[in-house]
Structure 1
Amino acid sequence: MSTVPLLAAAAALIVLPGGLVAWLWGARGLTLWGTAPVVSISLASVGAVAMQVLHVRWSAPTYLGVTVAVLLVSFLLRLAWTMVRQRTFRPPTGATAMARPAYRWTSLATVLVALGVPLVVLGVRFAQIFGHPDGISQTYDNVFHQNALQFIAQTGRASSLTLGSLDATSNAISFYPAAWHDIISVLNSALPIDGIVATNLGNVVIGALVWPATSVLLTRTLFGFRPLLLIATGVLATGFGIFPYLLVDFGVLYPNFLGLVLLPAVLAVIAHLLRLSTNLTRRPVRDLALAVAGLTALMLAHPSVGLTLLAVAFPFVLVWSLRLTWRLPLRVAALRLLAGLVVPAVYVAVVGVAWISFRPSKLASFWPPLGSVGQAWGEAVTSSPLGRPVPLLIAVLTVLGVAAIVRWRSLPGYCLLAATGITMWFYVVSAGFAKDDVRDLITRVWYNDSYRTAAQLAITTLPVAACGAAWLAGAIWSWFSRRWAAGSRRRTTASALVGTAVAVLALFLGTSDASVTDEQSHATDMYRLDDQSQLLTADEEAVLERLPRTTPADAVIAGVPGNGSALAYAIGDRMSLLMTASATPAAGDESVLYTQLGRISTDPAVCTAARRLKVTHVLDFGTQEINKMIHTYPGFVNLAKNPGVTLVDSQGQAKLYELSACDR
């Protein structure tokens, strides 16, 4: 419970700055709630790049300063726009979701349930996964993530253009999408917590608060304000084992996690901008600003998520273009059709260029397929990728959702179905296609990694399944009301409330199946700290936590990074010579240290290399490395028998040595 105020503060920092900007741009209601974190992430990620160019440290005050500057510019632009169009402006067409007073209380109750239920359920489940506010993910990528947060805290350099090198002395381009690190570092700066606690608090907010809000916004945009549909979206957001739980387990892929959480809101804005939405006020200037901010946030969260957005937005662009050109005064229908395909063709060409430009290297995209094409299609359609248990209720509701959308004859719904087919196809390619150039062309933007393409299945399947749930609940309610609920208004209202509560409980219980519990159990194991932990054991963490007392402030520590010793920087606030899990010694001084350390007492070259590298200590965390990596360095063998090093600290099998021979 002591973390609740910190969680509230974290939520405020992630939601309020972007919310103020979005409000000034004209966002209201669910649009405001769903796009606020998108704008906040855009402010943080772009602001971090700009501040580094201006040689200003990135921190919470800087983040708030960027927000104030954008608010001021937005206010002046809006004032100028209002003055120019004061007399010629026509009121926006359409009706907002809460425009009629008769529905105000119903709308408020709907939103509270749709967002409140997943906030509690996901918040509790994430807390159970992390185990403790400072629970650390025992995964390969987390070495970089935690060291990057410490690097930002110490240097104030958080630009996506240079963060990849973790080198404060270099301004060379080393791109790494840093939006997640930028916003988490703000929490680290503003609150009395370290980077690991900031990571967990921020991820709880992103997963439990932001994910349901963006998903409900997408559903509302495509299908209108239907209480049962919005409530179903919120409750079902907790029921996919593949998201949001998977990406705080595997990898650990925090940047992808953030990007996919934001994606539904950006897609909703694009759908609204293209007039493929239901019963909403038309505000093209607002939507264009939100779309630009959203695409920027996604590309700086992770470019692969930005490309996913461009892919799933294609059906919306195609339908918009065809609708627009169908009104042209051309007598031949074929000419109107041809004209309608011009914009989609240009769109595909631009996306194709981006697809090639933002691909990672072939060397990094080594992930193999997992099975056959047929198996992959079956897993995609049933939301059970990677051989996970089938979420039976969600699979059934997805089928019903397709039928409901067809029955409703919903054009935005048809676009959603096409987008869902696209995300399924990406998973099928990565998981089922042979390892060849075709597969590489299509899915290398996700490193050919089926875990990444699996996670994004939930983004588009969720609103489809929610349509199925709403249609089924509506059919049951119609049948029930004809028999028992008829009568006074009070009796009808009471029956509706009871029916809604039963539906929420049924959806929650029906989706709390093996697909979720198995994934939650596996994710929990990845945050467990004990003697069997994969990256860092309890003894090793204790030695790292004592580094501020056992080493000088300017100490540089060498170690085998894959065994957890690289976290000396993130946990012990002492510079690690190698900063990422798979880093290896460079030729020259680093190679001398790692190969010749055993001769430190007799070979002056070893101490010369150590002094140039400023290395004063060595961590011995044994030979077990993350992901079963093996790095054997001759200089690190039998350190206990090396007369040139002195044991400074130990706990269990974890030991810290000082290069005492170099002090002579």
Structure 2
Amino acid sequence: MNWLDAVPIALVTIAWLLLPGLAVSYAIGLRGIAAFGLAPITSIAIIASTAVVAEKLGIDWSVWIALVASAATVAVAGAVAFPLRRRALFTADPDPRRLSLAALAGWVPGLVLGAITIGGAVSSPDALSQTYDALFHYNALAYIADSHQASSLTLSTLGNPEVPPAFYPAGWHDVASLVMMTTGTSIPVAANLVTFVGAIVVWPLACLLLVRQLFGRNLAALAVTGVVSVGFTAFPWDLLGFGVLWPNLLGMSFAPAALAVVFTLTRWTRDDAIGVGRAWIMFVVALVAAGFAHPNVLFSVAVLSIFPIAARIFVRAWELHRAGRTARGAIESVLFVAVAAGGWYWAATTPAFAATRKQFWPPFETPANAVGEVALNATHNKEALWLLSALVIVGFFAARRYPNLRLIVAGHLATTFLYVLTAAINRPDTQKFTGYWYNDSHRLAAMIPITAVPLAVGGILLLTAKVLSATEERAGWRSRVAAAGSAGIAVALAVVLVAATGGLYPSDRQERISAGYNPRPAGVLTTPDMREFFERVADEVPEDALIAGNPFNGSAMLWALGDREVLFPHFRGEHSPEQEYLANNMENAATDPLVCQAATDLGVDYLLVGEAEFRPSDGKWKYYSGVNDPRFGTGFELVDEQGGNKLYRLTACGTASQQDAG
């Protein structure tokens, strides 16, 4: 498949991420940038919630159930909002159309730059991510396709009845499964397009909404935001290659919109486009969407929200003091500090996050270097984004002109602090602050562009104002600059930025993405020969077959690529005693009756051996020592082979496969 062939599938992906939420946005009275910026949040909340409810009710997950749920949500939202439309809290003057058109015009170049980046880094729409987490995500989509269930409450087991279900955020998987069912496309294509659309559609729309709320109806600000939003490499581009953290990326892509809702609720917006009443509704929806997309989003937005909330609390305390109600203001301030501290203490000590907090990534640089990386937007020793970073620094000074930008500056500094803790220190005491991001510098670096984008926009606006001021006293330039206007000057500055950086540092963006798709020192999940072999295997074994194999040699990818379920769909996980026994002893089927007993109980009829070697130094390889190539051992019959890939039928146990072969 080439990229042109993928365009219709990409449009379907955009439709699933925008249209359900957009219908709700319009039903509750949102328009323009606010409607589009908040639409993905609502769409993800509807889709992921419906998947949970459907499983609870015993209803198969399908396109129709998602459409019915979306229509019902729109009807309820409209019925609730209609009688409230004239209430003060639900009113916000819609933006003029020219503002939305300016935002759209500014986003299109960013979309093009983003698409070029992806096309240059990823060879085709069905390219496979050769990363650790990708195996789980691919097989989770295969499980949804086979089971017709997509609930976040049960997805983690991948259908293993021996493992107790646990919560796993399935928002990304739910959307990707709908793309698969709607278009009939393959798992790799759906996985890639949902993620890419999140990066170049959802993320810029969310940034546009945050900028809209911070700068008001500022034509210049909205005209440059779309381009600026795709320039920072720590997000979304780094998460396209690292991990691979697809659910996290989808969740973080709407984080700026969620933060915009908080700014509305705390009344730090400029010419608010949402309305406080609608913001409360969207606040609840955003909590649901973030919880089902990835909880990291909740913690990221919570950190950045502390500053507008705290500022509003203390402004109110000062107003109460001036009104002679000092005690009440002091009590409210103390309560806020107590609640914030209590929330942090609970999160830092609760067993619910213990496993997450204890994840360890070794520090790789000094604190000074880490600070410098944030200042230059060069996290993880990557290319310094000199001009873009200079705009961010100028944006710090723009906070004098736009006071609510000071709260963004505070959030930017807080994120810098958290990144430094993970990249340069990462001790047990610092993990009480960074553990909610797995103490992972990549996840924390992804927060930086949330604040860097509006700061860079603020920097462009300040430079625009300086240009206007400098030409006021020059008669020859005054008329030309006045004709261009502030929006024209801002766009010209953005054009200079793009041209001077060769397209906003494309090599760095492509390098970060391709790190996940190209062959890696740690090995690959699947080779081209394996993909071809898996297509044949799908014709050689029954649809209900369960196939054993060592996931480290790539056999686990058969489920996602060949639609045949595998016994071990991921490298690690909870296994039943029978699974564990086969993992260690299946090659001894001819001499060990316990192997046959376990294989019969589980329904395992085949053994698949792949030619890949993923993480050959991983100690977990030993766990699967019994499901490697039996070579000349008895008890197995070679069904097919290609290169180092082999499919064996288990013949030692009198299983169903042997009887079918007879």
How does the TM-score come out when normalised to structure 2? 0.91
Q: Distance in 2 between matches of 1:432 and 1:156?
A: 45
Q: SS of 1:650's equivalent?
A: strand
SS at match of 2:234: coil
1:543 matched to 2:550: no
Q: CA deviation at 1:138?
A: 0.4
The answer to whether residue 371 in structure 2 is matched with residue 365 in structure 1 is: no
Q: Residues of 2 paired with 1:530 and 1:456: CA distance?
A: 26
8 Å CA contact retained: 2:524, 2:612: no
Task: Provide the secondary structure at the position in 2 that maps to 1:242.
Answer: helix
SS at match of 1:617: strand
Per the TM alignment, residue 340 of structure 1 is displaced from its structure 2 partner at its CA by 3.3
Residue 343 (structure 1) aligns with: 336
> Following TM superposition, by how much is the alpha carbon of 1:318 offset from its aligned partner in structure 2, in angstroms?
0.8
Asked whether the 8 Å contact 1:618–1:657 carries over to 2, the reply is yes
Partner of 1:239, secondary structure, is coil
Match of 1:398, SS state, is helix
Q: Which residue of 2 aligns with 1:290?
A: 282
Shift of 1:242: 1.1
Q: Distance in 2 between matches of 1:530 and 1:650?
A: 25
Would the alpha carbon gap of residues 441 and 516 (structure 1) be closer, same or farther in structure 2, given more than 3 Å must change?
A: farther
Cα distance per residue 1:300-330 (max 9 Å; x no partner) = 2111220111111011111111223333265
| TM-score computed with the length of structure 1 as normaliser | 0.91
- RMSD (CA atoms): 2.8
* Superposed CA offset, 1:193-220 (max 9, x none): 1221111111221111111110011011
Structure 1 position 477, deviation (Å): 4.5
* TM-superposition CA deviations, 1:403-426 (whole Å, max 9, x none): 111x21x33211111111111111
Deviations along 1:234-266, whole A, 9 cap, x unmatched?
Answer: 212121121111111000001110111110001
Contact persistence 1:242–1:454 (CA under 8 A):
yes
1:160 partnered with 2:152: yes
Distance 1:274-1:638 versus aligned 2 partners, 3 A rule: closer
**Alignment partner for residue 457 of structure 1, among 442, 448, 463?**
448
Q: Tell me the amino acid that sits aligned with residue 370 of structure 2.
A: A
CA shift at 1:221, angstroms?
A: 0.3
- Pairing 1:353-502 to 2, within 5 Å after superposition: 353-354=346-347, 356-357=349-350, 359-361=353-355, 365-405=359-399, 407-408=400-401, 410-436=402-428, 438-480=429-471, 482-487=474-479, 493=483, 499=489, 502=492
The 1:416/1:634 distance shift into structure 2, 3 A limit, reads closer
Q: Which amino acid aligns with 1:97?
A: D
1-structure distance, mates of 2:496, 2:126: 34
Going from structure 1 to structure 2, the CA distance change for 1:605 and 1:500 (only over 3 Å counts) comes to same
Distance 1:611 1:298 in 2: 42
Please say if residues 388 and 515 of structure 1, whose CA atoms lie closer than 8 Å, have aligned partners that are also in contact.
Answer: no
Measure how far apart 1:595 and its partner are: 3.3
- The partner residue of 1:67 within 52, 70, 83 is 70
CA distance in 1, matches of 2:501, 2:348: 35
Unaligned runs of 5+ in 2: none
Q: Secondary structure at the match of 2:15?
A: helix
Residue type of the alignment partner of 2:173: H
Asked if the contact 2:558/2:566 (under 8 Å) is kept, the reply is: yes
Bigger Cα displacement from structure 2, 140-149 vs 19-28: 19-28
Map of 1:331 onto structure 2:
324
- What is the alpha-carbon distance in structure 2 between the residues aligned to residue 173 and residue 571 of structure 1? 25
| 8 Å CA contact retained: 2:461, 2:490 | no
Q: Percent identity?
A: 30
Superposed displacement of residue 525, structure 1: 4.6
Shift of residue 109, structure 1, vs aligned partner: 4.0
Distance across 2 between alignment mates of 1:427 and 1:299: 23
Aligned residues: 647
Map residues 56-95 of structure 1 onto 2, 5 A cutoff: 56-81=59-84, 89=87, 95=93
1:135-284 correspondence to structure 2 within 5 Å: 135-167=127-159, 169=161, 172-280=164-272, 283-284=275-276
Aligned with residue 613 of structure 2, among 624, 646, 649: 624
Question: Could you tell which deviates more after superposition, 501-510 or 209-218?
Answer: 501-510
Alignment of 1:629-640 (within 5 A): 629-630=618-619, 631-632=621-622, 633-636=624-627, 638-640=629-631
Q: Partners of 2:33 and 2:256 in 1: how far apart?
A: 13
C-alpha distance in structure 2 between counterparts of 1:215 and 1:592, whole Å = 51
The Cα shift of 1:333 comes to 5.5
Q: Equivalents in 2 of 1:593, 1:217: separation in Å?
A: 53
Q: What corresponds to 1:613 in structure 2? A: 602
Partner SS for 1:22: helix
Distance (whole Å) between structure 2 residues aligned to residue 180 and residue 591 of structure 1: 30
- Match of 1:552, as an amino acid? P
Pick the aligned partner of 2:314 from 288, 298, 322.
322
Contact 2:24 2:78 in 1 (8 A): no
Greater Cα shift, 571-580 or 355-364:
355-364
Alignment of 1:635-650 (within 5 A): 635-636=626-627, 638-650=629-641
The one-letter code matched in structure 2 to 1:19 is: L
Name which of 592, 601, 605 aligns with 1:603. 592
Q: Distance in 2 between matches of 1:144 and 1:570?
A: 10
Q: Is the 8 A contact 2:370 2:424 kept in 1?
A: yes
Q: Secondary structure at the match of 2:353?
A: coil
Tell me the distance in 1 between the aligned counterparts of 2:574 and 2:607.
Answer: 15
Change in CA separation of 1:433 and 1:516 when aligned onto 2, cut-off 3 Å: farther
Please state whether the residue corresponding to 1:204 is helix, strand or coil: helix
- Deviation track 1:606-647 (CA, whole Å, cap 9, x = no partner) reads 323222221111111247223742413443455221232222
Q: Which moved more, 1:61-70 or 1:331-340?
A: 331-340
The structural deviation recorded for 1:164 is: 1.1
Residue type of the partner of 1:611?
Answer: T
Distance 1:352 1:302, change over 3 A: farther
**Secondary structure, counterpart of 1:298 in structure 2:** helix
SS at the partner of 1:359?
helix
Whether the aligned pair in 2 keeps the contact of 1:420 and 1:457 (CA below 8 Å) is yes
**Deviations 1:91-110 (CA, angstroms, capped at 9, x unpaired):** 97775432xxxxx43x2442
Counterpart residue number, 1:590? 579
1:502–1:434 distance in 2 versus 1, CA, 3 Å = closer
- CA distance 1:450–1:133, change in 2 (3 Å): same
Relative to structure 1, the CA distance from residue 347 to residue 132 in structure 2 (aligned partners, 3 Å threshold; closer, same or farther) is: same
Mapped partners of 1:92, 1:559: distance in 2: 58
1:22 aligned residue (25, 35, 48): 25
State the Cα distance separating 1:123 from its structure 2 match.
Answer: 2.1
Residue-by-residue CA offset, 1:476-519 (whole Å, 9 max, x unaligned): 3543574545449xx95468787555333222234457964134
Contact 1:235 1:507 in 2 (8 A): no
Query: Cα distance, 1:140 vs. partner?
Result: 0.4
Unaligned runs of 5+ in 1: 99-103
- Pair 15,638 (structure 1): closer, same or farther in 2 beyond 3 Å: closer
**In 2, Cα distance between the equivalents of 1:270 and 1:391?**
29
C-alpha distance in 1, partners of 2:391/2:12? 37
